Amino acid sequence: MTGEIDWENLSFSYIKTDYNVRCYYRDGKWGKLETSSSETINLHMSATCLHYGQESFEGLKAFKGKDGKTRIFRLDENARRMQNSAKGILMEPVPEEIFTEAVKKAVKLNERFIPPYGTGGTLYIRPLLIGSGPKIGVAPSDEYLFLVFVTPVGPYFKEGFKPTSLLITRKYDRAAPRGTGNIKVGGNYAASLPSGKMAAENGYSAVLYLDSCEKKYIDECGPANFFGIKNSTYITPESSSILPSITNKSLMQLAKDIGLKTERRQIPIDELETFDEAGACGTAAVISPIGRIDDPEENKSYIYSKDGKPGPVCEKLFNKLQAIQYGDETDNHGWITIVE
């Protein structure tokens, strides 16, 4: 199977691997980890994940280093974020030790699917938590399934690490204030599908959302957080509706490491014209430099790349982050877990 994979030309799509890892919450306690080779799950037709949206997921990656070691990036942060998501919709949180053991086991069991060093591919890891118990009334489930599967992937945006274009629209909201925008649940992504389809049909990689209340401030991109660079400062939006990106958090630290100031605050839409560079960041995208943002409703365009190349700060941050993830640079922040 792996002999047929073109490692250097992977898309961001599902490829079958050997095993996934599962754990069930029943009778008030989590069970033991189970290994499965099945790509399907059995669900009761009235499971709460199907009817009332009790579902959360995470995304993280494993990297094969030049030294042959396998590294997982910020495993602990993903475990804690999934716990926060679970609490947000009253699911049973997965203990960090179960999350960690399940992820490491899924990576180890599917080690032959980790793209080789230098190909640009990674092993994408998808932990999933769903309400599996039957309910007819609107109420939390009594049973949950935690599952981890993996698949080799290439870049999320087909452009890779090249400037991409975004579309501003006021027709759609990503998430409401004090809603579920700050936790990683499937409903947020279902709500983004119409706007994402509209953007793609018009030649854009994604939508850049504005705040849902006033339509005055930048919120985030459909699949990623937004950041801008100006005056030697890394600036990213502050909002209760934004998913706290672990990649964004890491980039803010790396920005400080290379001598930049950092700000997390509201960004008025008019401030877009003052940035020297802009980018979208997340586990899947890593950094996708933004070349252009169009706001057709206001007949405005914001240009960040005229030569089709990333800006110098985006490039420096991207290279530094990738170097840590692949083990080419020392991990001074304790972000890496090596799979033995």
- Look up the CATH number of the domain holding residue 193: 3.20.10.10
CA of residue 28 relative to chain centroid, distance: 30
Q: Is 330 left (phi over 0), alpha (psi -120 to 50) or beta?
A: beta
Task: Give mean pLDDT, residues 122-133.
Answer: 98
Q: Are 206 and 280 in contact (CB under 8 A)?
A: yes
The reply to whether 334 falls in a domain is no
* Annotated catalytic residue 184: yes
Domain final position from 153, 188, 204: 153
pLDDT tops 90 at residue 177? no
The answer to whether residues 126 and 175 belong to one domain is no
Q: How many domains does the chain have?
A: 2
The whole-chain average pLDDT of the chain stands at 95
pLDDT at 161: 85
Q: What is the rounded CA–CA span in Å between residue 70 and residue 134?
A: 39
- What is the average pLDDT across 82-94? 98
Residue 168 domain-assigned (yes or no): yes
Q: Are both 290 and 210 inside the same structural domain?
A: yes
Q: Specify the pLDDT at position 1.
A: 58
Which pLDDT band holds residue 174 (cuts at 50, 70, 90)? confident
Q: Is the pLDDT of residue 21 over 70?
A: yes
Amino acid identity at 57:
F
Tell me the C-alpha distance between 268 and 147, whole Å. Answer: 40
Instruction: Calculate what percentage of the chain has a pLDDT beyond 90.
Output: 92
Do 68 and 197 reside in the same domain of the chain?
no
Q: Is residue 227 included in any domain, yes or no?
A: yes
Residues 244 and 298 in one domain: yes
Select from 46, 250, 279, 61 the least CA-distant residue to 154. 61
* Same structural domain, 47 and 192: no
Provide, rounded to the nearest whole percent, the portion of the chain with pLDDT above 70: 99
Tell me the residue range of the domain where 124 lies: 2-153
> How crowded is the C-beta side of 339, counted as CA atoms within 13 Å?
28
* pLDDT on residue 156: 81
Q: How far apart are CA 18 and CA 138, in angstroms?
A: 37
Q: Give tens-digit pLDDT for 228-285.
A: 999 999 999 999 999 999 999 999 999 999 999 999 999 999 999 999 999 999 998 8
Helix (H, G, I), strand (E, B) or coil at 203: coil
The pTM assigned to this predicted structure is 0.96
Residues 180 and 295 both lie in one domain: yes
Q: Is residue 56 part of a domain?
A: yes
pLDDT for res 176: 86
Domain boundary among 153, 183, 214: 153
Examine residue 43 and state whether it is found in any structural domain, yes or no.
yes
* Residue of 160 and 128 predicted with greater confidence: 128
Same domain, 33 and 149: yes
Let me know if residue 45 belongs to a domain.
Answer: yes
Query: Which residue is catalytic, options 184, 256, 306, 320?
Result: 184
Q: How far is CA 201 from the centre of its chain?
A: 23
The string of DSSP codes covering 20-79 is: EEEEEEETTEE---EEE--S-----TTBHHHHS--EEE--EEEEE-TTS-EEEESHHHHH
Q: CA-to-CA distance for 185 and 85, rounded, in angstroms? A: 7
Q: Residue 100: what pLDDT?
A: 98
Residue 206 β-bridge partners? 166
What's residue 178's pLDDT?
Answer: 87
Rounded Cα distance, 264 and 266, in Å? 7
Asked if 223 and 186 touch (Cβ cutoff 8 Å), the reply is no
Last residue of a domain, one of 97, 129, 153: 153
The predicted structure's pLDDT at residue 22? 98
The reply to whether 205 and 107 lie within a common domain is no
Q: Are 12 and 156 a contacting pair, CB within 8 Å?
A: yes
Same domain, 149 and 190: no
Which residues lie closer than 8 Å to 299 by C-beta, 6 or more apart? Answer: none
Contact 73, 124 (CB under 8 A): no
- 232 and 96 inside one domain: no
Do 92 and 174 belong to one domain? no
158 within domain boundaries: no
Q: Are 30 and 95 in contact (CB under 8 A)?
A: yes
- What DSSP character marks residue 180? T
Contact 295, 165 (CB under 8 A): no
Tens of pLDDT, residues 43-74 = 999 999 999 999 999 999 999 999 999 999 99
**Residue 333 within any structural domain of the chain:** no
pLDDT number for residue 155: 84
Same domain for 215 and 291: yes
Kindly state the DSSP code that residue 111 receives in the 8-state scheme: G
Say if CB 149 and CB 20 are below 8 A apart: yes
CATH, residue 77:
3.30.470.10
Asked if 82 and 73 touch (Cβ cutoff 8 Å), the reply is no
Mean pLDDT value of segment 205-225: 93
